[in-house]
């Protein structure tokens, strides 16, 4: 099937779980995605995940938009509002482009860190949606509340992001204040979604694997290393970031 047919098939299955008013809202979102599909600006696997997330949020009483403009140069995948509070959800499929075949982990980590930093400041809450076969390449400190992060650890990852993204660069303060509240695990085969808090996701999917894989140089920073660094120096890094317009 083509992308338009994929969207129609997903909506047909998802709307069976929704009330009539919510079905109309989901169909409107589907029409928006089909319009973008005709312009070839979205992909099939990514789009179906957006629909699963949108249906989930609609069922929980959110007003939802897809491919929602946050600024003239930044568009988020799913934007929801409920009781005056906003939520942004970014879909990450785990795709690695051919040009990064020799550095897939560093690429994924830089991409996912930059996503959290760039997008989360535009909403009260921020979530990332992933398929079950992709594990987020995010370091421990990003699963801490911003006020509990250690600048020493952030500076290392700022340099990593800068090596991949520079137009515009992610500012130091954006990375320091970035927030991640939830991770949605999307089972596309069943059009189902599992919601985990960021902390639950870290414990379930990252904590033990990071400890094992770090022996081979996996680029995670473990809690003991963070605490050790904080004890050695509580001073912020010398790097000074300025606002880019």
**In angstroms, how far is the first alpha carbon of the chain from the final one?**
43
Distance between CA atoms of residues 241 and 174, nearest Å: 10
Report whether pLDDT(5) > 80: yes
How much is the pLDDT for 240? 34
Among the residue ranges 50-54, 114-118, 159-163, 164-168, the one predicted with the least confidence is 164-168
Report whether pLDDT(17) > 60: yes
CA nearest 119: which of 61, 181, 33?
A: 181
> Residues 10, 13, 18, CA angle at the centre, nearest 5°?
115
Among the residue ranges 94-103, 124-133, 150-159, 235-244, the one predicted with the least confidence is 235-244
Distance between CA atoms of residues 118 and 90, nearest Å: 11
pLDDT confidence band for 10 (50 / 70 / 90): very high
Domain chopping of the chain, boundaries? 3-198
Strands (E), 104-220: 125-130, 182-187, 192-197
Torsional class of 143: left (φ above 0), alpha (ψ -120 to 50), beta (otherwise): alpha
Distance between CA atoms of residues 59 and 17, nearest Å: 8
- Of the CA atoms within 13 Å of residue 209, those in its CB half-sphere come to 13
pLDDT confidence band for 241 (50 / 70 / 90): very low
Could you tell me if 130 and 50 are in contact, meaning their C-beta atoms sit under 8 angstroms apart? no
Report whether pLDDT(237) > 80: no
Could you tell me if 233 and 158 are in contact, meaning their C-beta atoms sit under 8 angstroms apart? no
Tens of pLDDT, residues 20-68: 999 999 999 999 999 999 988 887 889 999 999 999 999 999 999 999 9
Distance between CA atoms of residues 176 and 198, nearest Å: 16
- pLDDT, greater one: 146 or 133: 133
How much is the pLDDT for 47? 95
Helix axes 3-14, 44-59, angle to 10 degrees: 20
How much is the pLDDT for 233? 38
Work out the percent of the chain whose per-residue pLDDT is above 70.
Answer: 87
Report whether pLDDT(207) > 70: yes
């Amino acid at each position: 099937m083509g992308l338009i047919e994929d969207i129609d098939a997903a909506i047909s299955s998802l709307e069976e779980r929704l009330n009539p008013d919510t079905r109309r809202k989901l169909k409107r979102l589907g029409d928006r995605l089909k319009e973008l599909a005709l312009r070839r600006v979205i992909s099939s696997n990514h789009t179906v995940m957006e629909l699963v997330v949108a249906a989930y949020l609609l069922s929980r009483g959110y007003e939802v938009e897809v491919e929602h403009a946050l600024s003239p140069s930044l568009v988020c995948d799913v934007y929801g509002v409920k009781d005056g509070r906003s939520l942004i959800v970014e879909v990450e499929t785990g795709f690695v482009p051919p040009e990064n075949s020799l550095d897939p982990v560093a690429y994924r980590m830089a991409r996912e860190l930059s996503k959290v930093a760039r997008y989360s400041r535009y909403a009260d809450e921020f979530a990332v949606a992933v398929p079950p076969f992709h594990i987020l390449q995010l370091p421990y400190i990003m699963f801490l509340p911003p006020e509990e992060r250690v600048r020493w650890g952030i500076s290392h990852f700022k340099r990593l992001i800068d090596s991949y993204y520079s137009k515009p660069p992610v500012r130091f303060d954006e990375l320091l204040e970035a927030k991640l509240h939830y991770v949605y695990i999307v089972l596309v085969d069943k059009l189902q979604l599992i919601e985990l808090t960021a902390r639950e996701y870290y414990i379930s999917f990252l904590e033990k694997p990071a400890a094992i894989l770090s022996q081979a140089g996996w680029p995670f920073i473990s809690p003991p290393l963070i605490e050790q660094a904080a004890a050695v120096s509580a001073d912020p890094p010398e790097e000074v970031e300025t606002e880019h317009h």
